[in-house]
Amino acid sequence: MGSSGVVVGYDGSEFAVRALEWALDEAELRGLPLTVCHAWQPPRGADVGTVAAMRRAAERVVRQGAEWARARGLPVDIDLYQGAAADRLVELSATADLVVVGSCRPDASRGVTIGAVRRVVAGRARCPVIMVRDTGPARRSGPIAVGVNGNGDIDVVLAFACQEAMARRLPLVVVHAWQHQACHVRAVMPLEPAAVRAHAEERMTRVLVPWRLRYPNLLIEVSAAEGPARQELLEAALDATLLVVGAPESRCGSMTVFMLDHAPCPVAIVRTQEVAL
């Protein structure tokens, strides 16, 4: 089965509009078609008239999103689905290059639906997912930041980050953090902080050699620091256009969930065989 391009969840809300804007950019940059997906679900026991009215409303919403996209000259498909939005987006992710979903900071006043959709899609999607914030300025000139800890299948994470940076003509910042205490426990002999830093930087230098060769025109910087990884990633996200993190198949690790809840910029979740960050 061929690729279905970029898929975006759209319900007409403010955070969905942000997601659609990002998805349009991605489709243009990648030269891919866009599918605007809208899910609707009538309440249990709803009469025929109510169901028909809800379907008409859903059709208006998805057409609105599609017309906005077509105004940019992009090929657009509509996917109107009766059922749970998260389930449909996960299903579409099996053949998509990318899924884009609107996101918001945790807020009890908004209810649990938004957070539930975000968590399910981030944890179960078969392709990369970008979660786009509904508030704050849209960053278009900051770097692409990617978190790497040296464990797991980091190649797919770096490949996605490099491609995003190249497509957007932005520098790439590779964020690597370590805890000196953890290094000390694993070492046969105690390690000085300077030695731990030197080892970490040398390791990242080796990891990035093939990527510098593959993308000679891409500016790749390394931000290596001792401390909690989530703190370093949050600091990198303050100026970033996009934060890229890895997540194991079929679930999100605690670090990924934290970034989805707290990162001030859009977050891309890339599937790995093992935990990358």
Q: HSE of 216 in the Cβ direction (CA atoms, 13 Å)?
A: 1
**What does pTM read for this prediction?**
0.88
Q: What is the pLDDT of residues 224-240, one digit of tens each?
A: 888 888 899 999 999 99
DSSP-assigned beta bridge partners for residue 7 = 35, 99
Residue type, 250: S
State the Cα–Cα distance between residues 274 and 253, nearest whole angstrom.
10
State the Cα–Cα distance between residues 114 and 103, nearest whole angstrom.
7
Lowest mean pLDDT among 38-42, 102-106, 161-165, 219-223: 102-106
Lowest mean pLDDT among 23-32, 187-196, 212-221: 187-196
Please tell me the predicted confidence (pLDDT) of residue 181. Answer: 57
Please tell me the predicted confidence (pLDDT) of residue 93. Answer: 97
Please tell me the predicted confidence (pLDDT) of residue 147. Answer: 94
State the Cα–Cα distance between residues 140 and 90, nearest whole angstrom.
28
Q: Would you call 15 helix, strand, or coil by DSSP? A: helix
State the Cα–Cα distance between residues 138 and 135, nearest whole angstrom.
9
At 250, the pLDDT band (50, 70, 90 cuts) reads low
46: DSSP letter: -
Instruction: Tell me which residue of 109, 108, 62, 118 sits closest to 86, measured CA to CA.
Output: 118
CA separation, residue 55 to residues 34, 58, 80 (Å): 22, 5, 9
Instruction: Tell me which residue of 112, 124, 117 sits closest to 101, measured CA to CA.
Output: 117
Please tell me the predicted confidence (pLDDT) of residue 144. Answer: 98
- What region, left, alpha or beta, does residue 152 occupy, with left being phi > 0 and alpha being psi -120 to 50 degrees? left
Share of the chain above pLDDT 90, in %: 61
Helices (H) and strands (E) in the chain, counts: 9, 10
Helices (H), 94-153: 113-124
Check whether 276 has a pLDDT greater than 50. no
Please tell me the predicted confidence (pLDDT) of residue 153. Answer: 73
Neighbour count for residue 165 (Cβ, 10 Å):
24
Say which residue the tokens 């605690």 belong to: 254
Average pLDDT of the chain, as a whole number: 86
Over range 26-41, report the average pLDDT. 96
Distance of CA 237 to the CA centre of its chain: 13
The segment with the largest mean pLDDT, out of 59-63, 192-196, 224-228, 270-274, is 59-63
Check whether 207 has a pLDDT greater than 50. yes
Domains of the chain: residue spans and CATH: 6-133 (3.40.50.620), 144-272 (3.40.50.12370)
Please tell me the predicted confidence (pLDDT) of residue 149. Answer: 76
**For residue 215, what are the contacts with CB-CB under 8 A and spacing of at least 6?**
162, 165, 166
Check whether 253 has a pLDDT greater than 90. no
Taken as a whole, the chain contains a residue count of 277
Burial pattern 126-135, b for ≥16 Cβ within 10 A else e, equals bbbbbbbbbe
